[in-house]
Amino acid sequence: MLTLSLRGLFGAKRKEAPGSPFQPTAPATGLHRRPGADLIFRMKSWPQLPEDGRTADIYRVLSVMSHQPVNRQYLLARCRMAPQQLDKLLMKLVQEGALEVIDPARFAGREARAA
Tens of pLDDT, residues 60-87? 999 999 999 999 999 998 888 899 999 9
Q: Are 48 and 108 in contact (CB under 8 A)?
A: no
Sorting pLDDT into bands at 50, 70 and 90, what band is 34?
A: very low
The residue among 96, 51, 94 whose CA lies nearest residue 86 is 94
Q: Kindly report which listed range (10-14, 23-27, 58-62) carries the lowest average pLDDT score.
A: 23-27
Average per-residue pLDDT for the chain: 74
Backbone angles phi, psi at 21, to 5 degrees: -70, -15
pTM of the complete model: 0.62
Higher pLDDT: 54 or 105? It is 54
Query: How far apart, in Å, do the first and last CA atoms of the chain sit?
Result: 33
Give the distance, in angstroms, between the CA of residue 69 and the centroid of all CA atoms in the same chain.
Answer: 9
